[in-house]
């Protein structure tokens, strides 16, 4: 207290600690970028592993005679699949390239990719190298890893059917709840309903999965007959996914509806419109972009939802459009095959990255689209 003003040093000092703290805070912010890069890097790396991994297909074309390490012509039996020139083949552990292929003889370059030319006895099968092509991956309608068939369509198809059913439930229900909350309900009713919606939104997805399997599926089977509805089916999973995303649709839509200025409603009332006419013909169109954003985010959530489909939609890819049949979605497949003891050096391990990448890209596009729409819609009323 005895200090006089002149004894206080008011000169600026360098504050190294301030700078250091700012750098640390920035680093925490940058970590999120790192997470995104990590996701993209690992998914792409794993997917590359999936598409470059050699799958050895049995040609059923065994060696016709013993082969010595120095031979460059392999005598083969005529039966089995044809081997094209330039193809990579494997006999026992040795990898070779076919230079000329005839009916009963193959001229080969031996000991490729670090393998050593070795002697092979007659009767050993020849394996032809095959890879999962992008074309096969995106257009194949069968996903059978044991048979080397990797067409993602059955998984994508099931994902979209489940999501479509979910949106058929969530869109009308969520929108109606949102209109009720923002246009009709008194603040007191709102105070009761919003926590209830939050509870519904906070229930873990695995509990919803339990609900789908032990409540909705039996209900569907009783209503439509057990011959029509399988024990595991996409309809039950889709309905419950719809229930799961309903609170999300409702709360995002409500925000959008509340953002519509009061003056619009008052103008409608002044013209003699009823409450319903105001809500449906004035407020909903005015909030349309916000509602669209909510809808898109909900689709993205439904596509990425895992536990409900893993429990209720069934195990095993199935290319079907019948919602009452069992079919595995992308997420369901990832969970099922990684649930067991997954060997790191298997095509199954690599395949979850390829599926994961497709899933990531679909949800990324949807989320970005929704954010764009929200950004544009904010501009309108601010």
Partner 1 sequence: MSVRPRFDPNRAARHRRARIGMVVFQLATLVGIVVLMALLYNIINNAFGLAAIEYRIYPATLGLDLETLPQTPRERLLEILETHLSPGLRRSLERTRPLTQRSNEELAALVLERVLQPKVLDTWPLVPSLLHTQDIVAEVHARFPQAEVRWVRWLNTRFLTRPQSSAPLRAGVRTAILGSLWLVVITAATALPLGVAAAIYLEEYARKDRWYNRLIQVNINNLAGVPSIIYGILGLAIFVRALEPLTSGAVFGAVAEGVTANGRTVLSGGLTLGLLVLPIVIINAQEALRAVPNSLREAAYALGATKWQVVWHHVLPEALPGIMTGTILALSRALGETAPLVVVGASTFITFDPVHPFSKFTALPIQIYQWTARPQPVFRNLAAAASLTLLLLLFLSNGIAVYIRHRARQRRLV
Residues 257-276 contacting partner 1, CB under 8 A: 274-276
CA 146 to chain centre: 22
* CA gap 120, 117 in Å, rounded: 9
Determine which residue in the list 95, 179, 291, 373 makes contact with partner 1, applying CB under 8 A.
179
- Geometric angle at alpha carbon 308, from 306 and 313, rounded to 5°: 100
Residue among 89 and 197 whose Cβ is closer to partner 1 = 197
Nearest distance, CB of residue 244 and partner 1, angstroms: 10
Is residue 176 involved in binding partner 1 (CB under 8 A)? yes
Residue among 104 and 281 whose Cβ is closer to partner 1 = 281
- Geometric angle at alpha carbon 376, from 39 and 378, rounded to 5°: 105
| Residue from 67, 68, 85 nearest 76 by CA | 67
* CA gap 80, 99 in Å, rounded: 19
Residue among 214 and 346 whose Cβ is closer to partner 1 = 214
**Over the Cα atoms of the chain, what is R_g?**
31
Is residue 124 involved in binding partner 1 (CB under 8 A)? no
Residue among 157 and 182 whose Cβ is closer to partner 1 = 182
Is residue 168 involved in binding partner 1 (CB under 8 A)? no
Please state, as a whole number, how many other Cβ atoms lie within 10 Å of the Cβ of residue 22.
10
Residue among 60 and 281 whose Cβ is closer to partner 1 = 281
Residue 129, SS3 per DSSP:
strand
Q: Cβ distance 230 to 221 under 8 Å?
A: no
Where in 193-222 is the site for partner 1 (CB under 8 A)?
Answer: 193, 196-197, 199-200, 202-211, 213-215
Residue among 3 and 116 whose Cβ is closer to partner 1 = 3
Q: Cβ distance 106 to 77 under 8 Å?
A: no
* CA gap 71, 1 in Å, rounded: 101
* CA gap 199, 11 in Å, rounded: 56
Where in 58-117 is the site for partner 1 (CB under 8 A)?
Answer: none
Q: At what angle do helices 288-304 and 153-179 cross, to 10 degrees?
A: 140
Determine which residue in the list 72, 371, 376, 381 makes contact with partner 1, applying CB under 8 A.
371
Determine which residue in the list 42, 102, 109, 266 makes contact with partner 1, applying CB under 8 A.
42
Residue among 23 and 68 whose Cβ is closer to partner 1 = 23
Where in 292-351 is the site for partner 1 (CB under 8 A)?
Answer: 297, 300-301, 303-307, 310-311, 331, 334-335, 338-339, 342, 344
Residue among 88 and 347 whose Cβ is closer to partner 1 = 347
Residue 156, SS3 per DSSP:
helix
Task: Kindly indicate which of the ranges 37-45, 66-74, 102-110, 287-295 contains the residues binding partner 1, using the contact rule CB under 8 A.
Answer: 37-45
Task: Kindly indicate which of the ranges 24-32, 53-61, 76-84, 144-152 contains the residues binding partner 1, using the contact rule CB under 8 A.
Answer: 24-32
Residues 6 or more apart from 4 whose CB is under 8 A from it? none
Determine which residue in the list 120, 356, 373, 377 makes contact with partner 1, applying CB under 8 A.
356
Residue among 184 and 288 whose Cβ is closer to partner 1 = 184
Nearest distance, CB of residue 90 and partner 1, angstroms: 27
Is residue 353 involved in binding partner 1 (CB under 8 A)? yes
How many residues lie near partner 1 (CB under 8 A)? 89
- Geometric angle at alpha carbon 381, from 377 and 382, rounded to 5°: 105
| Residue from 75, 88, 78, 81 nearest 120 by CA | 75
């Amino acid at each position: 207290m005895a200090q006089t003003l002149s004894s206080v040093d008011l000169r600026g000092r360098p504050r190294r600690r301030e700078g250091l703290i700012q750098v640390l805070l920035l680093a925490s912010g940058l970590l999120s970028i790192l997470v995104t890069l990590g996701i993209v890097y690992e998914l792409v790396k794993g997917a590359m592993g999936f598409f470059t991994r050699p799958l050895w297909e049995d040609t059923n074309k065994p060696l016709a005679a013993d082969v010595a390490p120095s031979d460059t012509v392999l005598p083969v039996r005529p039966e089995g699949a044809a081997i094209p020139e330039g193809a990579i083949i494997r006999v026992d552990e040795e990898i070779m390239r076919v230079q000329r292929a005839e009916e009963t003889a193959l001229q080969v370059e031996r000991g490729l990719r670090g393998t050593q030319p070795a002697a092979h006895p007659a009767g050993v099968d020849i394996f032809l190298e095959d890879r999962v092509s992008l074309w096969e991956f995106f257009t194949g309608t069968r996903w059978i890893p044991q048979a080397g068939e990797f067409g993602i369509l059955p998984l994508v198809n099931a994902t979209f059917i489940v999501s479509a059913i979910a949106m058929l439930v969530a869109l009308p229900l969520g929108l109606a709840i949102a209109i009720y909350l923002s246009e009709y309900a008194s603040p007191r009713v709102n105070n009761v309903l919003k926590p209830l919606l939050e509870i519904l939104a906070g229930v873990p997805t695995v509990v919803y999965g339990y609900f789908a399997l032990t409540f909705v599926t039996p209900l569907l089977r009783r209503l439509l007959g057990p011959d029509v509805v399988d024990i595991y089916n996409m309809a039950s999973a889709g309905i419950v996914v719809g229930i799961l995303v309903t609170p999300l649709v409702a709360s995002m839509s409500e925000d959008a509806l509340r953002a519509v200025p009061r003056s619009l409603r008052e103008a409608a009332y002044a013209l003699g419109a009823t409450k319903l006419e105001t809500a449906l013909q004035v407020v909903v169109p005015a909030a349309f972009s916000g509602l669209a954003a909510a809808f898109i985010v909900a689709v993205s959530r439904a596509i990425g939802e895992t536990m409900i489909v893993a429990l209720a939609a069934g195990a095993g890819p199935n290319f079907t459009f019948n919602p009452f049949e069992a079919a595995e979605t992308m997420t369901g497949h990832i969970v099922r095959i990684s649930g067991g003891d997954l060997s790191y050096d298997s095509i199954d391990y690599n395949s979850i990255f390829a599926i994961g990448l497709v899933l990531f890209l679909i949800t990324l596009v949807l989320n970005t689209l929704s954010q764009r729409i929200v950004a544009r819609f904010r501009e309108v009323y601010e």
